[in-house]
Amino acid sequence: MSELTITHELDTQGLFCPEPVMMLHNKVRDMAPGDVVKVVATDPSTQRDIPKFCNFLDHELLENEARDNRFYYLIRKAS
């Protein structure tokens, strides 16, 4: 993942749909516009759900990466 200032982290490992996206929604609600959250997940459905979440709410999906049976996302909260 690139060098960005990550202001929040969210570990959803071991949780399954819809919990990771629900937790992300709650985390983003508490963030300031422009803040970046790093999400780590193990549920493969997050590969579909998190990009849709970002698109629907206009948050910027900066990066997503799958490695070692984990999924990593960097998301910037919309202004």
Q: Where are the domains of the chain?
A: 8-76
**pLDDT surpasses 80 at 1:** no
Residues labelled catalytic = 17
d(CA 37, CA 77): 8
Res 2: pLDDT: 52
User: What average pLDDT score do residues 40-60 get?
Assistant: 98
| pTM summary value | 0.93
d(CA 12, CA 58): 22
Closest by CA to 24, choosing from 33, 5, 11, is: 11
CATH class of 8-76: alpha beta
d(CA 17, CA 43): 7
**pLDDT surpasses 90 at 4:** no
User: What average pLDDT score do residues 41-63 get?
Assistant: 98
- Confidence grade of residue 78 (pLDDT, cut at 50, 70, 90): very high
CA angle at residue 15 from 70 to 76, to 5 degrees?
65
